Amino acid sequence: MSTIYGLFTGSHSPCVTLMKDGEIVFSIEEERLTRIKAGDYYDEQAELSIRKAKMVTGIDFHEADYRIVAEPVPDEWVRSISKGSYEKVSHHTAHAYGAYFTSGFEGKVITVTYDGGGDTTLMKIFLCEDGQMNEIKRGFFPAFGSLSHLWGFATSSMKGYDGYGEGIWKMCKDEGKLMGMAPDGHYDEKIYNTLSSLVNYDEFRFYPSATASKVQFVLDMMYIQGYFDTQKKMEIFCFNLQKLANNLMLRLMEDLHKQFPEYTKLCFAGGLFANVKLNQKINELDWVNEVYIFPPMGDEGLSIGSCIYKAVQIGEIKKPFKLKNVFFGTKYSNEFISQISK
């Protein structure tokens, strides 16, 4: 039996998890302590989370039996808190282990991860069964394109930039505003074709490659040309962005079904799957039996996924389990709340 610390740090959404004897005993995201949303502050370390984890559990990071960090890793800082001894796990592998092993699913399952890029990949796909995971596809960065780049840069371009060159609306924070506006728009062939020229899909590949810089340039030009200067125009743009995301990801799902028709359960993780409308469309496919989205689907879930990956390696987790709840962070008594509210 062992203690495992999982960590993701040095980027947006830094987080820390402690697992003991195969059970999650504490998990927290840095923004819960700084009170600064992840999209408002990048490249931060999980310093407060590490301290809080020790305060709550009594176990310092370097004292755990295993320390595992999701890539990309700021090695110098991690060495300083681990006394030099730690392991690494691929960004998307951590996403996938978190999703599959907390799903509670039995039998054949496909796990898909997708985001704007972690270490060397934008996407991974695994065939899973009875606690075994077999990677079958991956989208290499920057050889693949990413729908997440479209959502992120559309978010930061839509309201323009402040005096420091930061988007008024922030990627990794405000994308939900675009999703919320989409139902009030309508199809626009020019906008849809522009977006599909930036990211498209065919036979398990999203293309063209290295989409980030191209997407940012085009969306900034759309802002300058007035595509977002009224509420209605923003709604029309968002409708077409959502439509493209739905269409491309549904094509990916259908390609998976053609190759693996016996797999009717799906697990998802990665920031793209914060899009509930996309998840709904996938769930409505007639061949899909069950869909599970890892609750912390973005990078804030990587510390949990890292712990689970290590626990599976050492045999403390053997098959998927269901989360009883997601209350793994700090808690406060009524007496404490009464004291600080006086």
What is the structure's pLDDT at 119?
87
* Rounded mean pLDDT, 288-309: 98
* Rounded mean pLDDT, 30-40: 91
Gap between the Cα atoms of 121 and 261, Å rounded? 26
243 has pLDDT over 90: yes
Residues linked to residue 132 through DSSP beta bridges, in sequence order: 129
> What sign does the dihedral 68-8-305-52 (CA atoms) show?
positive
3-state secondary structure at position 55: helix
Structural contact between residues 24 and 6, judged by C-beta atoms closer than 8 angstroms: no
What is the structure's pLDDT at 340?
82
**Cα–Cα distance list, 131 to 93, 97, 296, 312 (Å):** 14, 10, 21, 9
Structural contact between residues 6 and 307, judged by C-beta atoms closer than 8 angstroms: yes
* Rounded mean pLDDT, 21-30: 97
pTM: 0.95
**Percentage of the chain modeled with pLDDT above 70:** 100
Q: What secondary structure, in 3-state letters, does 216-247 show?
A: HHHHHHHHHCCCCCCHHHHHHHHHHHHHHHHH
Gap between the Cα atoms of 255 and 257, Å rounded? 5
* Rounded mean pLDDT, 48-61: 97
Looking at residue 144, its amino acid is F
